[in-house]
Amino acid sequence: VNAAHSFYNGTTTLPISDEDRTPRKRISKTLNMTTSPEEKRKIIGDTFVKIANEVIGEMNLKPEEVFLAQGTLRPDLIESASLVASGKAEVIKTHHNDTELIRKLREEGKVIEPLKDFHKDEVRVLGRELGLPEELVSRHPFPGPGLAIRVICAEEPYVCKDFPETNNILKIVADFSASVKKGDCRSYSYVCGISSKDAPHWESLMFLARLIPRMCHNINRVVYVFGPPVKEPPTDVTPTFLTTGVLSTLRQADFEAHNILRESGYAGKISQMPIILTPLHFDRDPLQKQPSCQRSVVIRTFITSDFMTGIAATPGNEVPEEVVLKMVAEIKKIPGISRVMYDLTSKPPGTTEWE
């Protein structure tokens, strides 16, 4: 089924607002025009169901005799505040496999989810018990919504009133830090970016990544910015949406990074390695008023046993520094890439994925 066009232009129905408790609904923006992570997940989940229903019709199947099989895991249901997992949980983020349309099918007994009571590490144990090939069992997880949630979409920078104060604190903590925003005041926190004129001292950077979120509670993620010191932190963003060009750039960066990791023989040491595309264009002279037109990539290595908590891989320790530097060099060759960053954040305070 070639459904790319349907997904790009997919929409869903949403509450009028977060505060509105009435049954009133509004139509979301299309997937290729929204910047909201929640909307992206809901549109993808609901569009999948709509396309599945179209295929059922084309195959002349009886809807009442068709079931939807999903690889839903317990954390998906917990984070989506599904009643299947808990009657008291609050929504952390809606998963594509637990949208309103999916819940309606579940209530009708039309959804088969054999893994819904298990976590990722337990599923791998089951896979080995069943004799599945190790390359399948130990393969890095990939998010259901795909690269859509690895593109930080934005039209304008999110700078709240506490931004100057946060930046001042960071300049005291580190020689130079630039904090940038990846969400809004209600639902996300700042990202702290650290750059330096000397080669990175990874143990010190990891220490800062633990210290900074404790000192600044509105920061939940710390990254190292490769390259020369950032003289002028970006104050605006490159307008970024889920378009074919943007996704193509991320796809190329993702391919280069994972190809290098596989060739190094260290893929098995890393539990997961999301590659994130951010709307940040560094190294522009503010006096020349150059428009923001490039984007930057984040390498997010993650080591965990249960995927509920975990740490970033320290270059020179869990993964060779030359492997990381080779990733940076290859990603920098991709047209339209401004800088490459390395995510130093543990979980918590950060999440595995950025959205």
Q: What structural domains and CATH numbers belong to the chain? A: 4-118 (no CATH), 163-343 (3.30.300.10)
Q: What integer pLDDT is reported at residue 175 of this predicted model?
A: 56
Contact 343, 301 (CB under 8 A): yes
Q: How many residues does the chain have?
A: 355
Q: Which helix (H) or strand (E) holds 219?
A: strand 219-225
Percent of the chain whose predicted confidence (pLDDT) is above 90:
59
Look-up: residue for tokens 């710390």?
222
Q: What integer pLDDT is reported at residue 253 of this predicted model?
A: 98
Tokens encoding 344: 């130093």
Which amino acid is located at 336 in the chain?
Answer: G
Q: What integer pLDDT is reported at residue 85 of this predicted model?
A: 60
Kindly report, residue by residue over 149-184, the tens digit of the pLDDT: 999 999 988 777 787 788 777 777 765 444 444 444
Look-up: residue for tokens 């918590």?
348
Q: What angle do CA 31, 48, 94 make, to 5 degrees?
A: 65
Q: What integer pLDDT is reported at residue 83 of this predicted model?
A: 65
The rounded average pLDDT for each run of 10 residues, N- to C-terminus, in the chain (355 residues) is 88 81 86 93 90 92 91 82 61 73 90 93 94 92 89 88 79 58 54 92 95 89 94 88 96 98 95 96 85 95 91 97 98 98 95 91
